Copies of this chain bind each other. A is one copy, B any other.
Amino acid sequence: MTDGTTTGSPVGSDGGSQALPGLPDVAEVGTVPVVLAALADPVRLEMVRRMADAPDRTARCVGLYDDIGKSTASHHFKVLREAGLTERTYIDGALHQRLRLAEVEQRLPGLLASVLAGLG
Contacts and interface: CB of A to CB of B under 8 A. Distances in A.
A111 interface: yes
A113 interface: yes
Interface in A61-93: none
Q: How many copies does the complex hold?
A: 2
Which bucket holds chain A's interface residue count? 20 to 34
A16 interface: no
Interface stretch (A3-11, A18-26, A35-43, A51-59): A35-43
Interface in A83-118: 107-111, 113-115, 117-118
Interface of A: 31-33, 35-37, 39-42, 45, 107-111, 113-115, 117-119
